[in-house]
Homo-oligomer: A and B are copies of this chain.
Amino acid sequence: MAKKISGGVCAPKGFSANGIHCGIRKNKLKKDLALIVSDVRCTAAGVYTTNLVKGAPILVTKAHLADGYARAVVVNSGNANTCNADGVEIAEGMCALVERFCGVPSDDVLVASTGVIGQRLSLEPIEGGMQALAAGLSREGSSDAAEAIMTTDTVAKEIACSFVAGGKECRMGAIAKGVGMICPNMATMLCFVTTDAAISAPMLQRALSEEVKDSFNMLSVDRDTSTNDTLCIMASGLAGNEEIAEGGADFRAFRRALHFITVQLCRMIAGDGEGATKLIECTVSGAKTKRDAKLAAKAVVCSDLLKAAMFGCDANWGRVLCALGYSGADLDVEKIDLDFRSAGGVLAVCRGGAGIEFSEEFAKKVLSEREIDIDVRVGDGRGKATAWGCDLTYDYVKINGDYRT
């Protein structure tokens, strides 16, 4: 089983990190440049946005990952380096700076950017800050790196766990950012995972591609699939386990650890959604197929109407049924049972597709909590899925009504 530990991306053996303010952002208190470096060359894998409009760094990262190896990740916040004429040149320039100051060949450097789309990113502040960024790399640097990739995130997002593969204790860690333009489709906004497990590049890619289907692809803040979604993983192999090169018990242990990491990050990202006051987790069970369960769960957490109702602590369950109905899932409406659950208790609102009596007072109590589970049972099939989202609030509108200034 995966066991939660501290240390973020530096928890696995061989990884150092750092984050600084280099001047891309005007606010000097806000870090804007992050670096993760491995002591050794790592097997590596990535998944990216399916948006046709792609950030320039994604093109560069894909090229650098084509051989299945990488050693470092450099990331800036404050500018997405997307829809710019010289975007690829700038992204390559960031990798070249990592080579110059850390000695990592630039084609083993992964690069990502997040922030405003369509404004030119200057290499100048990055060049000015890279020496200090490299000099400050440390085993305790994960939090600084996590902080440096934040945009409107209100909390830094890092997680780590240990697990056993091939009889050896292995570790896995990650940092992520993302609060708005969140409806990942193959990956989330930005997420970087490290591990010291030895695992081949093809198996790493397989693990990552399988994993996102049940984690990041089931997450939405606002149904806007970003242009810069990137999720990369680097495996140093320093845990000393026999390299995972095929399916089996070790690969399953690795997958469980990866699932633990990604689900925790999904919950952090949804709970910190722009303007959000609540994390909403919707689990649909008893569906005819897993696909039906996923369509249904995702539709519920994506509904603006349901999200606004959750903000208002209003048990307006008709909106859940409405979303289930247009989700595209094959469902028998007369079989739907629905409960709202939280630390405040369990509120049953619908049985067999029709409403049942409930106390409005108790409903307010249940829905006033920070985490709301929407528990939907749609029959006795084996399909089950969970999706994550957040409420829709005045602050979401405020944050996004004037994001650029």
Q: Show 7 residue pairs from A and B whose CB-CB distance is below 8 angstroms, ordered by the A residue.
A: A116-B316, A181-B322, A223-B304, A226-B322, A227-B322, A311-B397, A394-B397
**Do B401 and A311 touch (CB < 8 A)?**
yes
Identical copies of this chain, number: 2
Q: Which residues of B contact A305 (CB under 8 A)?
A: 180-181, 222, 224, 400
**Do B404 and A314 touch (CB < 8 A)?**
yes
The yes or no answer to A118 lying at the interface (CB within 8 A) is yes
**Do B354 and A84 touch (CB < 8 A)?**
yes
Known A400-B305, A401-B309: A224·B83 in contact at CB below 8 Å: no
Known A84-B354, A321-B53, A354-B85: A400·B224 in contact at CB below 8 Å: no
Q: Which residues 47-61 in A have Cβ within 8 Å of B in the complex?
A: 49-54
Known A52-B324, A333-B52: A304·B83 in contact at CB below 8 Å: no
**Do A314 and B353 touch (CB < 8 A)?**
no
Further pairs besides A117-B319, A119-B355, A309-B403: 15, Cβ < 8 Å:
A51-B326, A52-B325, A83-B350, A83-B353, A117-B322, A118-B321, A185-B326, A223-B223, A224-B322, A225-B322, A227-B325, A308-B397, A308-B400, A312-B401, A316-B403
The yes or no answer to A402 lying at the interface (CB within 8 A) is yes
Q: Which residues of B contact A318 (CB under 8 A)?
A: 80, 82-83, 116-118, 227
Count A-side interface residues using an 8 Å CB cutoff.
63
Q: Which residues of B contact A181 (CB under 8 A)?
A: 305, 319, 322
Question: 9 shortest A-B CB distances, which residue pairs?
Answer: A117-B318, A312-B401, A53-B325, A308-B400, A51-B325, A118-B355, A225-B326, A52-B325, A118-B318
Cα–Cα, bound, A402→B314 (Å): 6
Cα–Cα, bound, A50→B148 (Å): 45
Q: Which of B116, B314, B324, B354 contacts A118 (CB 8 A)?
A: B354
